[in-house]
Structure 1
């Protein structure tokens, strides 16, 4: 069996999303630990953020979540809300992929970057479980990547939705593990 080359994808761990959630200190500590462990294991890390151009021309009014983003004037390019949260601040060599849809693969160069780096497995953590994580997990599986989701590396506003996705949906696309399990795996 071929050896997998993994990359950690940190999805929407940006100020404008983190700041909308409550009680994130433990979550951010977990992500910080995961990020440092990936760096120590010399794994590639790719940060993905949501951002729109001035006037939100990417936001189609037929797409309710995009229409809301435009209406709110949310996540303008280079705005503080689109910056990666300091708990997982990217290093110069860590690519930042900007998306304007829920999935990190839709209309971005993520697939090109992963394939150019020889990545065959994506390990995902980020916000929100029922949003960017769900869409990106499904897209990654459809693109034939091996998928690992860090259960406590993701958060959803609805804990029951998070549980169902982790236990019943993501396990059909790949594997779900705790951040501690994954950190222990890559430390070997």
Structure 2
């Protein structure tokens, strides 16, 4: 059985200044919504994960408006929501136990950001024995400053992380290819 796991699709990840100077793939949230609607139409399991930052300055801190799940992917009744405060959807939650209890063996994963919580969660899911499909255009990255002060653009971070995950941890597909495969 296949389930959709939506990770950290929260308003706070629109607050560019906190995370970097640029973010790629502005259509990520819309693509997450397309995948979500397809799962709902098929009545397949959907799981939401949100980040409750422990940093009071973070837009994802529970006291901030940015902690809210993005309106395009609002959970509906029966779709569990897991709150985490680390990079993995599986640490500090019972997500794995719920997936196993339902007999789910394949995960489709979408959300933000590919270099943090998506990468960590995809790697853990694969290491736990789940077959993972990561929807490439239903995620995004921010630019990063390297150890020597060099700025690496969001697209470079995004493509490098997808290359790191490809085949070893996940099958990578774009939204249209995935939807056509259903």
TM-score, length of structure 2 as denominator length: 0.83
CA-based RMSD of the aligned residues comes to: 1.9
Deviation, structure 1 residue 14: 0.8
Which residue matches 1:120? 105
| Alignment check: 8 A CA contact 2:23 2:141 kept | no
CA–CA distance in structure 2, aligned partners of residues 165 and 99 of structure 1 = 22
- CA 1:73–1:123 in structure 2 vs 1: closer, same or farther (change >3 Å)? closer
CA–CA distance in structure 1, aligned partners of residues 176 and 25 of structure 2 = 18
Which digits, 9 at most, give the CA deviation of each residue in 1:11-51, with x for residues without a partner? 10011123437577533222221111111121111111011
1:88 and 2:73 equivalent?
yes
Which residue matches 1:146? 131
| Alignment check: 8 A CA contact 2:59 2:67 kept | no
Unaligned runs of 5+ in 2: 17-21, 143-153
CA–CA distance in structure 1, aligned partners of residues 61 and 3 of structure 2 = 27
| Alignment check: 8 A CA contact 2:10 2:60 kept | no
1:170 and 2:166 equivalent?
yes
The one of 10, 20, 27 aligned to 1:14:
10
- CA 1:37–1:22 in structure 2 vs 1: closer, same or farther (change >3 Å)? same
SS in 2 for 1:125: strand
Number of residue pairs the alignment of both structures matches: 166
CA–CA distance in structure 1, aligned partners of residues 127 and 52 of structure 2 = 24
TM-score, length of structure 1 as denominator length: 0.80
Which residue matches 1:27? 28
Which digits, 9 at most, give the CA deviation of each residue in 1:37-76, with x for residues without a partner? 1111211111110115xxx4xxxxxxxxxxxx24x25533
| Alignment check: 8 A CA contact 1:121 1:147 kept | yes
| Alignment check: 8 A CA contact 1:8 1:122 kept | yes
Deviation, structure 1 residue 152: 0.4
Unaligned runs of 5+ in 1: 57-68
- CA 1:75–1:164 in structure 2 vs 1: closer, same or farther (change >3 Å)? closer
CA–CA distance in structure 2, aligned partners of residues 103 and 35 of structure 1 = 20
- CA 1:118–1:168 in structure 2 vs 1: closer, same or farther (change >3 Å)? same
Deviation, structure 1 residue 79: 4.1
Deviation, structure 1 residue 118: 1.5
CA–CA distance in structure 1, aligned partners of residues 15 and 41 of structure 2 = 28
